[in-house]
Structure 1
Amino acid sequence: MPWLSFDPLTGKTSTVCDNLVFPNGVCVTHDGRHLLVASTWACSILIFDLANMKAGPRIFLDGLPGYPDNINRSSDGGYWVALAGMRNPVIDLAMKHPELRRRMTKQVPPTNWLFGNLNVGGVLKINGGGRIIDALWDEAHGPLYMITSMREHEGGLYLGGVTNNRIGRLTLDGAVSDWIGPESYWGKP
């Protein structure tokens, strides 16, 4: 799948990188020098050097236990990663064998293979070096599932998902109580 960039000043669209596996959430690193990109079906986080985008991505974190959706900064210099669901061995196999994937999409209803384990959502906490330091999971059939977004704000972690009709909030022990996520990206108004 290509990753495109639109320049509003020129009105032109260009291809930044091609052949990515479901690029999804993006986050500029705390130092502003790199871009983190969730590769959902590859269960990995890619990192791009903003000063040399033509070099393409490197693997920042691989072998995730679920499907990463969005990434956001945390108050301690790390990052939060929303997981839409737990890994499914059938999807892992299908991602390695395109012909199998094509046959399955034509012959098997998606609810029988594609959506397995999407009833358990989670959030990973990773440090600035790309190491998982915490994992928060919802229970099967819990109040939040298929978590696709999260944002730390003033000591809490807010959680949501495209199939949820509610927003969850967790109080974070040790988080900076006056830290506001958007201000870390854009500065104070």
Structure 2
Amino acid sequence: MMKLFLVVAICVALFLSLTDFSGKSPKHGESMLTVHFPEFRLIPTTGASGPESFVFDISGEGPYTGLSDGRIVKWIANESRWIDFAVTTPTREGCEGPHEHQRTEDVCGRPLGLAFEKSTGDLYIADAYMGLLKVGREGGLANQMLTRQLDEPLRFTNGLDVDPRTRVVYFTDSSSVYQRRNYIGVMMSGDRTGRLMKYDPNTKQVTTLLSNLAFPNGVVLSQNGEYLLVAETAKCRILRYWLNDTTSASKSRESYEIFSDRLPGFPDNIKRSPRGGFWIGVNTKHTKLTKFAMSNVWLGRAALGLSVDWMKVHSFWASYKGNGMAVRLSEGSGAISEVFEGKNGNRWMSISEVEERDRTLWVGSVNTPFVGMYKI
């Protein structure tokens, strides 16, 4: 009887924590962008779902995005269709087609973060299972970059960005314990084994820049190359990691600091905006109950000890009542200057990323079988 009570209590608490009943947007900010359909165009992704991240190549073509069956596809605008561009593993039998891709993504791959290296046109890929990879301009099978044995192997490679000046690749490993197909376990357990890392293609060396992070996710380099922003999802905040600390002024500060901790939910990917600042995809808005769960890790740990598939619980509830959004943070203060979200039944179950290009917002989600496109 006690176990049943615990199950019910935990289920209710987690369900409530995933839902925003208030419908309120952040109070601070210069502008609000509330999306109403049919102004918002939905572009289906053929054969798979979960367009996590977007990137345009050096010719401006695209976007490219990774899908749940392990493919990276390219949008051909003048033909209004997606074409296959690359894959992250040679094992493709049973990967494509209508089935639960989450069950096969450890074999088929799950590409998440994407970034082009501007001098060569090569595409770097952060695959949750295959690690850090690269594929040439013609696409095809991507090659793993980290062939040397790491002291701590990658278990959940997630976001990345490439420095156009040095060609150094910065990326995140979200957990050393949990894989992507059980990412809810990272959140519920209070796991702090995530890392911010860098790969230097010139020396083939991998360096850990920050460790003991709570679900590090998206990463982006500032326009001037002075710092990185990293989303620490489980803490609902953005960290700023300073690079090239060589001046006397920089030596007096820590290598990282909190850039923004006033986020309305759990941050995912980060992208620079051509209008200034950074777009943050917010997977799920939080409530007072979410904050309670975050400050009482014992609740999540107790739930993980029960015979419950929490990934299925989470997926079901997200599909029933999604509440994803995106915010644009100012580059100077990290304050919210713009909010992007649907209203009145047009809510997204989650938003992983917003890529702004030519006054168009490309909106991705790990849960949807389509890409969103909105003209500003």
Please give the range of the TM-score, normalised by the shorter of the 2 chains. 0.7 to 0.9
SS at match of 1:41: helix
Unaligned stretches of 5+ residues in structure 2: 1-193
Q: 1:25-104 maps to which residues of 2 (within 5 A)?
A: 25-52=218-245, 55-104=254-303
Q: Which residue of 1 aligns with 2:354?
A: 150
**What amino acid does structure 1 have at the position aligned with 2:364?**
G
Contact 2:231–2:270 (CA under 8 A) maintained in structure 1: yes
Which moved further from structure 2: 128-137 or 2-11?
A: 2-11
Q: CA deviation at 1:15?
A: 1.5
- Which digits, 9 at most, give the CA deviation of each residue in 1:59-110, with x for residues without a partner? 1110311111111111222111111111154543343333333212212542
Contact 1:90–1:113 (CA under 8 A) maintained in structure 2: no
Evaluate the alpha carbon distance shift between residue 67 and residue 158 of structure 1 in structure 2; reply closer, same or farther with a 3 A threshold.
same
Q: CA deviation at 1:122?
A: 0.7
**What amino acid does structure 1 have at the position aligned with 2:353?**
S
Q: 1:128-139 maps to which residues of 2 (within 5 A)?
A: 128-129=331-332, 130-139=334-343
- Separation in structure 2 between the aligned mates of residue 157 and residue 2 of structure 1, nearest angstrom: 29
Contact 1:65–1:87 (CA under 8 A) maintained in structure 2: yes
Contact 1:120–1:140 (CA under 8 A) maintained in structure 2: no
**What amino acid does structure 1 have at the position aligned with 2:264?**
P
Contact 2:233–2:267 (CA under 8 A) maintained in structure 1: yes
Compute the RMSD of aligned alpha carbons.
Answer: 2.7
Evaluate the alpha carbon distance shift between residue 7 and residue 87 of structure 1 in structure 2; reply closer, same or farther with a 3 A threshold.
same
Evaluate the alpha carbon distance shift between residue 115 and residue 102 of structure 1 in structure 2; reply closer, same or farther with a 3 A threshold.
farther
Larger Rg: 2
Q: Which residue of 1 aligns with 2:41?
A: none
Q: Which protein, 1 or 2, shows the higher relative CO under an 8 Å CA cutoff with sep ≥ 6?
A: 2
Query: Percent identity, aligned pairs only?
Result: 30
- Separation in structure 2 between the aligned mates of residue 150 and residue 88 of structure 1, nearest angstrom: 22
SS at match of 1:151: strand
Q: CA deviation at 1:42?
A: 0.8
- Separation in structure 1 between the aligned mates of residue 317 and residue 260 of structure 2, nearest angstrom: 23
**What amino acid does structure 2 have at the position aligned with 1:43?**
C
Q: CA deviation at 1:115?
A: 8.0
Q: CA deviation at 1:116?
A: 6.0
Q: 1:120 aligns with which of 286, 310, 323?
A: 323
How high is the TM-score relative to the length of structure 1? 0.78
Evaluate the alpha carbon distance shift between residue 115 and residue 47 of structure 1 in structure 2; reply closer, same or farther with a 3 A threshold.
farther
SS at match of 1:5: strand
